[in-house]
Amino acid sequence: MRKLCYVGIDLGGTTVKAVRLADDEVGVVERIPTLGRESPGRILDDIAHLVTKVAAGASIASVGIAMPGLVDPVTGSNSFAGNLRWRDVAVREELEKRLKVPVVAENDANAAALGEHSHGLTVGVSDFLFLSLGTGIGGGVFAGGHLLSGCRGAAGEIGHMILSPQGPRCSCGSNGCLEALAGGWAIIRDAQAAIKQGQETVLNRLAACGEPLDVKAVAEAARSNDAVAREIICRALFWLGLGVANAVNLLNPSLVVLGGGLSLMGDPLLEAVRDAVATYGMPTQRESVRIELSQLKDYAGVLGAVELARRSQII
């Protein structure tokens, strides 16, 4: 008899991650690039192939998928994902057609919060905020031991907190959202602008050589004291810290966990956020909150997705 397994998928703006859970053991995470310029159907085809690969040799009980944007918790449809340019994509329905197994869908930050609650620093913590810092910025909120969903599953969208109304345009259509000021795509946008303006920076060499300009490259340039890259990263971290301080004032969590790809910047990011909360947080809130980097690094989302799949089969 074939082993039964659950598969979790984390659909990000640049990468799709997948993991298998069988016999209470989590397998190795597989990754493929997100082909953002392709149609939703093509991306869902890639995801279906990835699920089949990860589950090889086992029967799939269910699949959980974490994805950016607004996800209907009842239908599993993605009504809006700005960074993917998706609107009204029936993700659960389409994947179930391809895979012939049950699929459960959730917003990526909410799934990541669940991943932290199941496997990370927040095990046993009833009130916390998880920030998913990647191409975009999302938030998952636990209050009283329960994930806050909101009336349409859209609670916790910290990335679309407006901090600067005259600021840059966001993928959601507003101006000056936290994501448009500090998200991964915003950092790359600002780096590309500096290169186009002919500013003196080591990033020019990357562009000239045709090497990919990503957040990691900008962060490494900043660490090497490149003035342009350092200004871009410091500005993004200021806005991020201000956004977290506002969220701490609003939610009064006992713990804030910083996860996702941008969290791999490590101590500079952590210190910037802690400093901002110390400066802008209300006394009661700032004195009662702890701010930490996720120990799960950028795996919280995919671990939350596989936990969603497992829980969906518990009667």
Give the HSE-up count for residue 294: Cα atoms under 13 Å, Cβ half-sphere: 31
CB burial class (10 A; 0-12, 13-18, 19+) of residue 92?
Answer: buried
182 lies in the same domain as 244: yes
Quote the percentage of the chain above a pLDDT of 90: 78
CA-angle at 14, arms to 98 and 133, nearest 5°: 115
258-294 pLDDT tens trace = 999 899 999 999 999 999 999 999 999 999 999 999 9
135 lies in the same domain as 90: no
| Least confident range of 24-38, 61-75, 136-150, 271-285 | 24-38
Quote the percentage of the chain above a pLDDT of 70: 99
* Interatomic CA distance for residues 244 and 142, integer angstroms: 15
Specify if 186 maps to a domain: yes
158 lies in the same domain as 233: yes
38 lies in the same domain as 61: yes
What's the CATH code of the domain at 11? 3.30.420.40
- Cα dihedral 23, 24, 29, 34 sign: positive
83 lies in the same domain as 227: no
306 lies in the same domain as 194: no
210-267 pLDDT tens trace = 777 899 999 999 999 999 999 999 999 999 999 999 999 999 999 999 999 899 999 9
Cβ contacts of 149 within 8 Å, gap of 6 or more: 73, 110, 155
84-140 pLDDT tens trace = 888 899 999 999 999 999 999 999 999 999 999 999 999 999 999 999 999 899 999
50 lies in the same domain as 156: no
194 lies in the same domain as 87: no
Specify if 183 maps to a domain: yes
94 lies in the same domain as 155: no
174 lies in the same domain as 284: yes
221 lies in the same domain as 305: no
| Least confident range of 32-36, 99-103, 303-307 | 32-36
What is the value of pTM for the model shown? 0.88
Number of domains in the chain: 2
Domain that holds residue 201: 123-293
Neighbours of 100 (CB within 10 A): 8
Q: For residue 259, list its beta bridge partners.
A: 132
How would residue 36 be classed by pLDDT, with cut points 50, 70 and 90?
Answer: low
146 lies in the same domain as 205: yes
State the pLDDT at residue 151: 85
Cβ contacts of 89 within 8 Å, gap of 6 or more: 40, 77, 78, 81
State the pLDDT at residue 241: 98
* Interatomic CA distance for residues 58 and 38, integer angstroms: 30
Q: For residue 170, which amino acid is it?
A: C
Specify if 288 maps to a domain: yes
131-171 pLDDT tens trace = 999 989 999 999 999 999 888 888 999 999 999 999 999 98
* Interatomic CA distance for residues 95 and 103, integer angstroms: 7
State the pLDDT at residue 315: 52
Q: Does the structure show a pLDDT above 70 at 1?
A: no
State the pLDDT at residue 271: 97
39-60 pLDDT tens trace = 899 999 999 999 999 999 899 9
Cβ contacts of 141 within 8 Å, gap of 6 or more: 113, 128, 129, 130, 147, 148, 155, 156, 251, 253
Specify if 118 maps to a domain: no
